[in-house]
């Protein structure tokens, strides 16, 4: 056993720092949002995935083309909610030739009172994305005719469209590659 008084002093300080760190981290872990969704199943959605989940729209079949969205009917926030999540679950199946000529998946949100409209594109910045090959020839749109792609997506609408998440009635739809999605209505309520 080490009897050096300086060693004992540093050991006590290290233990105190570890206990304070554990205490601070446990507060972060146990803090829960008071946000609620109707239907409640939307609280289980991972908003950073492309996986189908129980809230995802159904795939209408291989010949169908378009965009489908699903969202909670109501989002109930506490008065001091600091991180609002508005989950949107979607599916699209689109022609590649039209997608190549499109700006991307655009969401449009409108609110009745105060009247306003907001929009944004679903674009993620990837800092590790490889630079395009300068010798690669661009894809000829004619080569893409008859080809399509499909994907599920789950996102927090506020990540891509900046709008005030205040009490009110909202509408949202998406445009992409010449297709417009279904229009969803949802409500944000503030309750203690």
State pLDDT tens for residues 26-84: 333 233 568 899 999 999 999 989 999 999 999 999 999 999 999 999 999 988 777 89
State pLDDT tens for residues 145-171: 888 899 999 999 999 999 988 999 999
C-beta neighbour count of 51 within 10 angstroms: 11
Q: Are residues 65 and 94 in contact, defined by beta-carbon separation less than 8 angstroms?
A: yes
**In whole angstroms, what separates CA 40 from the centre of its chain?**
17
**pTM recorded for the entire structure:** 0.76
Give the single-character DSSP code of 102.
Answer: S
């Amino acid at each position: 056993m080490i009897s050096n008084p300086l060693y004992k002093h540093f050991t006590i300080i290290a233990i105190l720092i570890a206990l304070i760190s554990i205490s601070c981290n446990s507060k972060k872990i146990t803090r829960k949002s008071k946000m609620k969704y109707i239907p409640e199943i939307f609280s289980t959605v991972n908003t950073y995935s492309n996986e189908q989940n129980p809230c995802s729209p159904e795939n209408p079949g291989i010949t169908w083309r378009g965009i489908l969205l699903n969202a909670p009917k109501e989002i109930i926030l506490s008065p001091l909610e600091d991180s609002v999540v508005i989950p949107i679950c979607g599916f699209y199946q689109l022609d590649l030739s039209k997608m190549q000529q499109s700006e991307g998946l655009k969401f449009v949100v409108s609110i009745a009172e105060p009247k306003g409209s907001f929009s944004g594109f679903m674009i993620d910045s990837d800092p590790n994305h490889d630079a395009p090959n300068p010798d690669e020839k661009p894809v000829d749109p004619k080569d893409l005719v008859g080809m399509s792609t499909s994907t599920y997506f789950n996102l927090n609408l506020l990540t891509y469209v900046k709008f005030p998440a205040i009490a009110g009635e909202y509408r949202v739809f998406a445009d992409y590659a010449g297709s417009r999605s279904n229009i969803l209505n949802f409500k944000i309520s503030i309750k203690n």
